[in-house]
Amino acid sequence: MASWNSISLEITYQVFGWLAFFCLSFCFYLQLLLNYTRKSVVGLNFDFVVLNLMKQSCYLVYNASLFFSPVIQRQYRAKYGYGAMIPVAANDVALSIHAVLSKAIGAFQILIHERGSQKISKTCIAINSAVLVVAVICIIIAWPNNSWLWLISMFNTIQVFMTAIKYIPQAFMNFKRKSTEGWSIYYVSLELLGGVTNFAQMWVQSIDQGSFVNFYGNIGKTLLSLVAVFFDLLFIFQHYVLYPSKGVENYSIASKENMEPLMKSFGESSRVENA
């Protein structure tokens, strides 16, 4: 059973881990708060929300299984060495649970707030459907041989793939609208800090153990942090450099178009016909 060599590094590891938990757990509430105060989700890409919910669900399966299951932990150590530390901490599990709940609230806001003409794309629906099919196939393959570590590793691979693509619809939407209005820059900034501290936590463990096994042993967490940092920097660049002053003006035009009701009221239709 692996143990920490340095008490100070263990404490630093815990501090970074729970700081990452705070940043990554509560960052999306800033987006939820923005949606609530505006009573509108115009500017928030629906594909991002749906892909993110699927991604977080897959990551929850991986983190919870590896953290709580003795069987999967034995399979992990048999593969990476019996002296290897489990790369999932309590803050990772708490983060995943909290992330799924907050993303579910975001999906609910899409249903109740003003959304204009925007809807979930067929591509997004196809991707999520394909993920569900792959997940079922992987379960069928893993079941006879009890290949549980392989199974949750596949869920981890899926969440890495979803992480890589989930930001693209939002980034493209910002580019198309020439505005980041409706997309919380505070959420982006806090998520960026969470990604950096997540990566720092892994470095601390590597320094203590004198090994980089936790980076490739939990490649999902490694790539998750790197991808999140990359896109958050892109969003910050869009917000402050590309569309700093003209965002509000273009948003008002875009909102006017997006928020136009699908059917005009009876009174308005009558006035148009009489005219």
Alpha helices per DSSP H over 69-184: 70-80, 90-112, 122-145, 148-177
For the whole model, what pTM was predicted? 0.76
- What percentage of the chain exceeds 90 in pLDDT? 49
Pick from 91, 100, 62, 93: nearest CA to 219: 62
Class of residue 226 by CB neighbours under 10 A (exposed 0-12, middle 13-18, buried 19+): middle
Q: What is the pLDDT of residues 142-162, one digit of tens each?
A: 999 999 999 999 999 898 899
**What was the pLDDT predicted at 32?**
92
Tell me what pLDDT residue 122 has: 94
Using alpha carbons, select from 186, 34, 27 the residue that is nearest to residue 114. Answer: 34
Nearest alpha-carbon partner for 255 in 76, 51, 74, 43: 43
Task: At 220, list the tokens.
Answer: 């999902």
Candidate from 9-18, 204-213, 226-235 with smallest mean pLDDT: 204-213
Query: How far from the centroid of its chain's Cα atoms is residue 134's Cα?
Result: 20
